[in-house]
């Protein structure tokens, strides 16, 4: 067997082995997306309603509470970036980290000191490689987060907010569809109400027991937990979708590469056969000539 043919066949074996891995990862991610979507759908109503409850207290009361009152002279901000623990998900983690860098730059332009909180090994390794300071990090659950994981992150953020942090922002990836996942950045604390969300006209009379401040104190940890948990679930669904798409693309590329290598191997084999035939014919002619000369 010719050297070139051995090279092609060795590469084909390598590509086929890689294709088995990418195909398996594609099927695993495809099987997990449905469950991840169901978890997002189950958690979103609660996150939306508790946000509406906080908005109602902020709208219908004149309480000056850190949860709903924007600091005039804000000095420090915290940014929570949610990325993946594992790779092979295309640009999923890089897009979230880039969105976090854009948000951090805009906060620094306002004169704020930024503390970075990270979820996912990809984000942690990115910051460590560039010698960036990390205020807190959590890893090991990016593709299947639990409420306990969200609570652990939320407690750390809430304690920082009740300390010397004036704003908390969160960067995560929203699951739009199997094709589209979009990294977004939003301010989690203090709660910001859009003009379209503020009620207009005649307002109902709300009564808060024992008082609006204590109601907001009770809602603060639940609000942060719900928002963080929903963001983690959105990111997990996006991660599975991005990995499935990336692995499908890798599998398709492997198929194309195998076809190309097969054609090259066939051409090399054909050239080798042609050369062998030429050598046989040449040898036979030489023997015939030698026999004719001896006679």
pLDDT tens digits for 52-62? 777 777 666 66
Confidence of residue 150 (pLDDT cuts 50, 70, 90): very high
Average pLDDT (164-191) is 90
Average pLDDT (253-259) is 93
User: What is 21-193+206-248's CATH superfamily?
Assistant: ATP synthase, F1 complex, gamma subunit (3.40.1380.10)
- Comparing 9 with 64, which gets the higher pLDDT? 9
For the stretch 18-56, pLDDT in tens is 999 999 999 999 889 989 989 998 988 888 888 877 777
State the Cα angle at 183 between 172 and 251, rounded to 5°.
105
Confidence of residue 218 (pLDDT cuts 50, 70, 90): confident
Q: Give residue 183's Cα distance to chain centre.
A: 8
Confidence of residue 195 (pLDDT cuts 50, 70, 90): very low
In this prediction the pTM is: 0.82
Cβ-based burial of 235 (10 A; exposed 0-12, middle 13-18, buried ≥19)? buried
Alpha-carbon distance of 141 to 99, in angstroms, equals: 21
- Comparing 202 with 97, which gets the higher pLDDT? 97
């Amino acid at each position: 067997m010719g050297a070139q043919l051995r090279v092609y066949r060795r590469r084909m074996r390598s590509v086929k082995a890689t294709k088995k891995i990418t195909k398996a990862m594609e099927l695993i991610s495809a099987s997990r997306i449905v469950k991840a979507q169901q978890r997002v759908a189950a958690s979103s109503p609660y996150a939306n309603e508790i946000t509406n409850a906080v908005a109602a207290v902020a709208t219908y009361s004149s309480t000056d509470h850190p949860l709903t009152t924007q600091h005039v002279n804000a000095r420090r901000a915290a940014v929570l970036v949610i990325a993946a623990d594992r790779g092979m998900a295309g640009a999923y983690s890089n897009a979230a980290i880039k969105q976090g860098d854009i948000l951090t730059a805009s906060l620094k332009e306002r004169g704020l000191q930024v503390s970075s909180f990270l979820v996912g090994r990809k984000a942690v390794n990115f910051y460590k490689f560039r010698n960036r300071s990390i205020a807190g990090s959590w890893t090991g659950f990016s593709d299947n987060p639990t409420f306990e994981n969200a609570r652990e992150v939320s407690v750390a953020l809430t304690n920082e907010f009740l300390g010397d942090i004036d704003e908390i922002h969160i960067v995560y990836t929203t699951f739009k569809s199997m094709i589209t996942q979009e990294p977004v950045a939003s301010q989690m604390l203090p709660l910001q109400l859009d003009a379209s969300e503020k009620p207009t006209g005649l307002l109902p009379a709300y009564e808060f027991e024992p008082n609006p401040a204590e109601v907001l104190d009770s809602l603060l940890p639940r609000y942060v937990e719900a928002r963080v948990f929903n963001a983690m679930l959105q990111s997990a669904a996006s991660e599975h979708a991005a990995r499935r798409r990336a692995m499908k693309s890798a599998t398709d590329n492997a198929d194309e590469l195998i076809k190309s290598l097969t054609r090259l191997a066939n051409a090399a084999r054909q050239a080798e056969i042609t050369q062998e035939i030429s050598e046989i014919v040449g040898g036979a002619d030489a023997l015939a000539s030698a026999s004719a000369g001896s006679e």
